[in-house]
Structure 1
Amino acid sequence: MKRTLMAASLAMASALAWGQSSVALYGIVDTGIEYYNNAAKGGSFAGMPTLTGEAPSRFGLRGEEDLGGGYKTFFVLESGFAPGSGSLNYGGRLFGRQANVGVSSAFGTLTLGRQMNMSMYALFNADVIGPSIHSMASFDSYLPNARSDNAVGYMGKFHGVTLGGTYSFGRDAAGPAGPSATNCAGQLPGDAVACRQYTMMLAYDGAWGGAAASYDVMYGGPGASAPLTSSADVDKRTIVDAYVKYGPAKLGGGWIRRNTSAEQHAQSDIFFLGATWYVVPTFSLDAQTVRYILREHSNSTLLIARANYFISKRTTLYASLGYMMNSALAANAVAAAGTVATGANQLGAMMGIQQRF
């Protein structure tokens, strides 16, 4: 009898262990005051940013359940918002940053739903500035918003090597309200190519640093935002980058090639090189140079400097400076969601506070 009760108790304990689950609330609230000169309509601008500070503001729910045998199920629901007004970003979607569910094991992770794709993962380590108010997003607003709706994704990590890919049946269902909403839901009967997207990545990370390469192909669709207004229109991005760590410092750089085949073929290149240095554990400096070339049209160069003071593990004070140099036909703004007069150079600055939870 005792053996039977003991066996039953062990079986119940094992079942409870397999069914252990957790749900966490997390997020970032980041805002401040920004300034830039030479606005498109003349004069300067001073106010609160709508898209990002040092990082985009967000909140989310992340859950996980241990199924046993090395298998886990998970979900992520993540919303982006503008602290200045409380409005939702990402096309007004409640969970515009992520909304997915999946399974993970030693063989990798399978994810279904709206998720970050490989173009974003490829830049994580080499881009020391990230999705900041002054960043390479001034040249390509897709880069900090590289997510795919209706997507199936896989990522596996094996002895420092990462393999990943996503396939989307309809890459962006939200209407044209912001840089990450292009009204291309796809999944149209009789038009299998409309709004499809696939991305792939190969990366290596070690104690000294690492490197990554990704390839991103997206198709247009009827009624989608320009320039991808037809299923025959294609937008391709290739990213190659690397980074090196040395003590409290990191150096990262890379190249991004974009080819758009729409009414008129367009090709652009972004070259970036930056460094981060932790002067002391509570204070760091970031710097980056970004060169943008739109073939047979224009070019721009962006210089970025940023200082971070970590008051605590969750709270950071920061100051960011950006200086944009545009050629005669270029009109790339120094700040996210900013404007600039064509051919004008532009100075931008921001001081802000970030709280993580």
Structure 2
Amino acid sequence: MKQKIVLATICLVSSAAHADSSVTLYGIADVGVRYSNGLNASNAPITSHSAAAVSSGVNNTSRWGLKGQEDLGSGMATVFQVEGGFNIDTGAAAKSDKLFDRISLVGLQTDYGTLTVGRQATIMADAISPVDPLGMRYASFNPNITLTALSNTDFGRHAFGTQYGTSGYNDSYYRLDNMLKYSASYGPVKARLTYSAGEVAGNSEALSTSGAGLSYEKGPFVVSGAYMNFRNSASLGLDAYTLGTAYNFDRLTVKANYGYNTADTGANSQTRTRVSSLGVSYLIHPALLLTTAYYRAKRQSTGFVEDGFDRVFTYLEYSLSKRSTVYLEGDYTKWKGDAAGVSSGQANDTRGIGVTLGLMHKF
């Protein structure tokens, strides 16, 4: 089956030059050698031990995809995109159950906006993208991606433990199946609307999602925000909000964001999570970029001790070319409350530190 898919992909790309539509093959290959203390190879807290690992996606998630469009005339075009993540250190797919786990959509683009249908990142992710202090780097460890945009809400001694929306996974709702997303620009303002059908027979509310986002971008100034409501199979709700801003002072860029979500995890239980973040990027010279970012996460949950963490990142990136970048990354995490959890009945270290030397190539 996989061989047939690969063959079909090759045929599609090779025939693109003979079709009216344009098709582009693209991707990112990112790998680094990482040393950490108080964290395991997956960056989960452990007892006071160090770990060495070869890690994929410490700067940008390794991925490959195809995208294209066909001009229909009169300002209209059909568009499509499929994209899958992979771990370059092992060659394994990021999600074993989905070939295109990141994006799988088709849509219609007009002068009045674009409507896309399929598996897509939520408008929470869209809203955070231009204002995340880390620039959406290190997706698996970036609190604005994991907590504000809900790609991995499980940390510490408890988790939501249920699927909200149509992501297909417990505690991960960054991308949703069956999504309709509409976006339109009006000068410097961009509006987004989204709905995802839960497809539960007899209960149209279960596993459904809806939301709206708005951003303003003019010159060096950006402000961006969004709201989404998710439902689980029992129609319990999760409400998520995000609001951030960015300003570019020539070689210096400052970004800040605040995220908040509240989830009904049971008839009489609720979890509230807040994430505050601030960061700066400074272009030392055209090929050398320094980025630092600080995140504070706080969580309150019925029946548990209040917990959270503070996390700091630093990236020094040197562009070898337009497509290739070598980088040095460092991070420090201070866990609070019970957030560090336990391993084999022993409390984990409340501090974690990591350093990565990596190479990223875009194609």
Retained in 2: the 8 A contact 1:324–1:332?
Answer: no
Call closer, same or farther: CA 1:159–1:327 in 2, change over 3 Å: same
Call closer, same or farther: CA 1:332–1:106 in 2, change over 3 Å: farther
Cα deviations across residues 102-156 of structure 1 (Å, max 9, x unaligned)?
A: 0111100000111122101101111131141642146567248722211111000
d(CA) in 1 for partners of 2:85 and 2:124? 19
State yes or no: 1:207 paired with 2:219: yes
SS at match of 1:119: helix
In the TM superposition, 1:47-196 aligns within 5 A as: 47-49=53-55, 52-90=57-95, 92-129=97-134, 130-132=136-138, 134-136=141-143, 137=145, 139=147, 142-143=150-151, 146-170=174-198, 187-196=199-208
Call closer, same or farther: CA 1:29–1:23 in 2, change over 3 Å: same
Retained in 2: the 8 A contact 1:78–1:97?
Answer: yes
d(CA) in 2 for partners of 1:343 and 1:219? 35
d(CA) in 2 for partners of 1:246 and 1:71? 37
SS at match of 1:167: strand
Call closer, same or farther: CA 1:35–1:120 in 2, change over 3 Å: same
d(CA) in 2 for partners of 1:138 and 1:349? 20
Equivalent position to 1:251, from 237, 250, 254: 254
SS at match of 2:95: coil
**1:169 corresponds to which letter in structure 2?**
A
Retained in 2: the 8 A contact 1:249–1:277?
Answer: yes
In the TM superposition, 1:314-353 aligns within 5 A as: 314-331=323-340, 342=348, 344-353=350-359
Equivalent position to 1:356, from 337, 351, 362: 362
Cα deviations across residues 18-76 of structure 1 (Å, max 9, x unaligned)?
A: x83111100001011112112425512111225x2201110000111011111111100
Query: Which residue does 1:46 correspond to in 2?
Result: 52
How much identity, in percent, do the aligned residues show?
24
TM-score by length of 1: 0.81
State yes or no: 1:282 paired with 2:287: yes
In the TM superposition, 1:21-32 aligns within 5 A as: 21-32=21-32
RMSD over aligned CA atoms reads 2.1
Query: Which residue does 1:304 correspond to in 2?
Result: 313
The count of aligned residue pairs is 307
SS at match of 2:55: coil
Q: Which runs of 5+ in 1 are unaligned?
A: 1-18, 171-186, 222-230, 334-339
State which drifts further: 189-198 or 309-318: 189-198
Call closer, same or farther: CA 1:348–1:266 in 2, change over 3 Å: same
d(CA) in 2 for partners of 1:345 and 1:41? 10
Deviation at residue 343 of structure 1 after TM alignment: 5.7
SS at match of 2:49: coil
Query: Which residue does 1:225 correspond to in 2?
Result: none
Call closer, same or farther: CA 1:161–1:150 in 2, change over 3 Å: same
Q: Which runs of 5+ in 2 are unaligned?
A: 1-18, 40-45, 153-172
Cα deviations across residues 159-206 of structure 1 (Å, max 9, x unaligned)?
A: 010000111113xxxxxxxxxxxxxxxx12112222111221011001
Call closer, same or farther: CA 1:122–1:341 in 2, change over 3 Å: farther
Q: Which runs of 4+ in 1 moved over 3 A?
A: 137-141, 340-343
**2:236 corresponds to which letter in structure 1?**
D
Retained in 2: the 8 A contact 1:138–1:332?
Answer: no
TM-score by length of 2: 0.80
Q: Which structure has the highest strand share of the two?
A: 2
Deviation at residue 86 of structure 1 after TM alignment: 1.1
SS at match of 2:64: strand
**1:246 corresponds to which letter in structure 2?**
F
Q: Which has the larger radius of gyration?
A: 1
In the TM superposition, 1:209-288 aligns within 5 A as: 209-221=221-233, 231-263=234-266, 264-288=269-293
d(CA) in 2 for partners of 1:326 and 1:242? 27
d(CA) in 1 for partners of 2:275 and 2:203? 33
Retained in 1: the 8 A contact 2:309–2:333?
Answer: yes
Query: Which residue does 1:198 correspond to in 2?
Result: 210
d(CA) in 1 for partners of 2:142 and 2:265? 26
Deviation at residue 348 of structure 1 after TM alignment: 1.1
